[in-house]
Structure 1
Amino acid sequence: MTTRGSRSEKVKRIFHQFDENHDGGLNRDEMAALVVAVNPRVKFSDEQINAILDEVFRTYGDFIDGEKGLTYEGLLRTYDDGAGDVDRDFDALGLELTLDETKASMASEASSSSIVDERLVESQKKQRTAAWAVSPNHGIVFDDTWKIVDDLEILVKRLKAKQAKEGN
């Protein structure tokens, strides 16, 4: 299981790998490189890449820093919203976390403002409520149950990807 700390560290590593000009943002070229790199078996047309980038930059406009592009917080939000699978992308890029990086990330997150953490949890609960409100499974109440559901969704995605890979 991936801890929140190592998850944010993975996003940070992905972000820094593609922030080629080190300006703190992923511009369209850098984002295009990221999209292509984490989908090595997909051959995107220019139109498809532009459509993906248009959607990302429109949806996460609050996280766009002028000409610099999508901020780290914006990339983290895309993953939080389910627009990608952090673990899959991290693995596809051949990146690894050291034990020290994982510990440092967890310590830094533990010392972060609990107000921010509470807002994030509330925001995620509202998003889940909206998505699950029309589902017969909307009775999930406990945070630990949500964590298990999230982990299961990741495992199902990985299994489907593995089955598709073996099928080709």
Structure 2
Amino acid sequence: MEPLTEAQIRASFVNTSKREMNQASLPDLDELTWDRLDVLGWQDDKRPQLAYVVVPTDDGPVGIMVRTSPPSKLRRRMLCSWCQDTVTPDDAMLYVARRAGAAGRKGNTLGTSICAGFSCSANVRRAPTASEVGSDDPSDRAAWTARRIEVLRERSRHFAQEVLTDPS
């Protein structure tokens, strides 16, 4: 992912009001390892049920505000729909995004499960197990990792495109 400035991130939001965009807390951009990120995601420091993702697309970054429910005492395991990592102990959570434009203003939303800590980029880069790859060959492992990175990018871009699409 190409490094982004605060202004670029705020300008990328497609499903927020100007007030929501300006109130969004941002991560420390200087602390990010941009070349190891495929999607930028973070929780809002002030409002824990709000989070944000920025997805690189061919048309530029697409920023999306998502909401989640408060943590429940009942714990359910869920698979992240973006990285689909079955080894990591991170929980996935249901995040719901208001659609962009008129559809979103009418209350139309779209949901997906994403790693609670937005660790998808790290998850797809972890060393695969031999049983996942079916081989101990380093080139097979590298190809497996490269494919997982591409699939994460495809799935996150698809979600961003769906948020931008008016379903009517």
Same fold (TM over 0.5): no
RCO comparison, higher one (Cα < 8 Å, 6+): 1
Name the structure where strand makes up a greater proportion of residues: 2
TM-score, with structure 1 as normaliser = 0.30
TM-score, with structure 2 as normaliser = 0.30
Name the structure where helix makes up a greater proportion of residues: 1
